[in-house]
Amino acid sequence: MDVSHRFTICAFTVLLIFESGYGFYLPGSYPHKYLVGSNLGVKVNSLTSIDTELPYSYYSLPFCQPPDGVKDSAENLGEFLMGDRIENSPYRFKMHTNETEIFLCETGPLSADKFSLLKQRIDEMYQVNLILDNLPAIRYTKKEGFLLRWTGYPVGIKVKDVYYVFNHLKFKVLVHRYEEPNVARVMGTGDGSEVIPAVAKSDSDEPGYIIVGFEVIPCSFMHNVDSVKKLKMYEKYPAKIQCDPTTVAMPINEKQSVVFTYEVEFEESDIKWPSRWDAYLKMEGSKVHWFSILNSLMVITFLAGIVLVIFLRTVRRDLTRYEELDKEAQAQMNEELSGWKLVVGDVFRAPSNPALLCIMVGDGVQILGMAVVTILFAALGFMSPASRGTLITGMLFFFMILGGAAGYVAVRLWRTIGCGDHKGWVSVSWKVACFFPGIAFLILTTLNFLLWGSHSTGAIPFSIFVILLLLWFCISVPLTLVGGYLGAKAPHIEYPVRTNQIPREIPAQKYPSWLLVLGAGTLPFGTLFIELFFIMSSIWMGRVYYVFGFLFIVLILLVVVCAEVSLVLTYMHLCVEDWKWWWKSFFASGSVAIYIFLYSVNYLVFDLKSLSGPVSATLYLGYSLLMVVAIMLATGTVGFLSSFWFVHYLFSSVKLD
């Protein structure tokens, strides 16, 4: 099912449910009622490991295949980009029907290649990811008295140079009695639901259940290969299977068969439908340290507030003193005093590489707008963890739509710098549409070649590359050109003062001004470094990130701090008669990207110690570089636009002849 079809179904669902007037479910969160005895199909996702960060197909290993063949499940664009490959599996249950000793298959003798690959995946600690009713399988372990939660289960384990495979799975499905709401009945699990109005049904009085939990216990059990020669899939294994997760008994060897079995137990639970994701969101190590974050935010906000108050009082005092003098006294004051008043004839002089500045500001507006809207929608629940891939899909959608804003801001700034000249606006618009997307495309293409060479499911298929290119040149580029056209038609911003023909010489400084600019990024970095840890853990450690409401607050605080830092640095440069503030205001807040990249390297060295292989490290650094470039453009744009507004306001308040 394609993205447009999914969007149409979601829109129709929302409209239908709102018409009922009784309540609603957010997209991707529809409860599915199963009658007793209804068939339940388990799906499999890509094999993943935090040691390599390279996902692989489930069926790349010698696992049992479904009797009707392997079929891809409905996926959206975001799932492809994240490396998810969801397929059907041979595991099948019947609602509220316990089953034990179910024979699945015998793999046949392992070839040398399959045996070597299986050992390699065990060494690299790959996890098998199963999905039932849109819920990932969760595994509980105890360590030093603490209960740990994990998604998925390991392929196998190595004990004293012997490799063991987990070939028996014990499933526990938590169910809750279905409470019939007076809203539309939803048929489906969120992978492509179909909605029909609630009407009287013949089975409405039959007991139904919804799935609220999916647990798995992997075991290594030594089967008798000879006893399963005549067994067919789903028949009962002829002997009792004792599942003990604390022991291993099934070593793997070349030219030896592996028998797979499973059992399933259903258990009624008090967990309600809205709470069924709580077990995943409360994984050990992923709890947000609210007190530490709140403490950091309060300190940073307090310091930034003090700086801003002192800064505003200083500027207001200067303006008041300047305006109280008559014209002769103002002229004498300009001759005697140094400071920002002396650069009045140079402060709006065009910067070096003005086109590049306009392009970067335009792309920064696009990225910042995308971040704000995406995080806001995620905070409202429209991009929950239950809807795989919707976050990436939403980011792409909003980025393309905001191309119009990028073109408008870039071209209007270009005309302002050129004092209203329309010449070159088409070129600027084209470059805005291709600058950051081009960088992203170059990085992703390079990394994709590495993934292709590793035969990883993380590699973007060629068809998806074609779709991304079509989205880029058929939607984003035209919208950017339309925005540029509107920016060319809009009136440019008039400078409040005239620019002298001869530039004023900048006095020698005691310290390099760029050193202060680069150091200014520490304050914005302080607002987000704690939150950055949880984001990085979500991306690279397989943990679920869900506190989007708090992330939205952090983003707003980051924007405020970036604006404050850039204003202070711009004022300091003007006070020492340095009128080249354009690029410095951009990098004063944009330099936070340097510290984020250094933090990424630190995270790689100290938190991802087990990350193995040059391909994995290159992938990590490549994606980190892409993230850093995006953050640099967004934060730099905030600083530049704030400084531009401040300088314009400051010099428009000065009365000149």
The residue ranges of every structural domain in the chain are 38-180+205-281, 286-653
Using alpha carbons only, give the angle 231, 236, 242 rounded to the nearest 5 degrees: 120
**CA-to-CA distance for 486 and 604, rounded, in angstroms?**
45
Residue-wise pLDDT tens digits, 117-167: 999 999 999 999 999 998 999 998 877 777 788 889 999 999 988 999 999
Phi, psi for 194 (deg, rounded to 5): -115, 135
Those residues with Cβ within 8 angstroms of residue 537's Cβ, 6 or more apart along the chain or in another chain: 285, 286, 543, 545, 607
Q: With beta carbons less than 8 A apart as the criterion, state whether 182 and 275 touch.
A: no
What pLDDT shows up at residue 181?
Answer: 56
Residue type, 127: Q
CA 91 to chain centre: 31
Those residues with Cβ within 8 angstroms of residue 51's Cβ, 6 or more apart along the chain or in another chain: 124, 125, 610, 611, 612, 616
What pLDDT shows up at residue 650?
Answer: 80
Taking all residues of the chain, what is their mean pLDDT, rounded to a whole number? Answer: 82
> What single DSSP character describes residue 350?
P
What pLDDT shows up at residue 511?
Answer: 74
The SS3 assignment for 251 reads strand
- B/e letters for 474-511, b = 16+ CB within 10 Å, e = fewer, are ebbbebbbebbbebbeeebeebbbeeeeeeeeeeeeee
Residue type, 369: G
Over residues 497-511, mean pLDDT: 79
Helical pair 354-379 and 403-417, crossing angle rounded to 10 deg: 150
Burial status of residue 93 (CB atoms within 10 A of its CB: 0-12, 13-18, 19 or more): buried
128's enclosing H/E stretch is strand 127-128
pTM, to two decimals: 0.82
Helical pair 354-379 and 425-453, crossing angle rounded to 10 deg: 60
What pLDDT shows up at residue 524?
Answer: 87
**CA-to-CA distance for 235 and 584, rounded, in angstroms?**
72
**CA-to-CA distance for 25 and 36, rounded, in angstroms?**
24
- Cβ-defined contacts of 495-502 (< 8 Å, 24+): 495/348, 495/419, 495/648, 496/648, 496/651, 496/652, 496/654, 497/344, 497/345, 497/347, 497/348, 497/651, 497/654, 497/656, 498/345, 499/345, 499/346, 499/348, 499/349, 500/345, 500/346
Token output for 40: 């339940």
Q: With beta carbons less than 8 A apart as the criterion, state whether 47 and 128 touch.
A: yes
Helices (H), 418-521: 425-453, 462-471, 477-489, 513-519
Residue 230 has pLDDT above 50, yes or no: yes
Residue-wise pLDDT tens digits, 91-106: 999 999 999 999 999 9
What pLDDT shows up at residue 17?
Answer: 31
Residue-wise pLDDT tens digits, 189-225: 444 334 434 444 444 567 789 999 999 999 999 988 8
The residue length of the chain stands at: 657
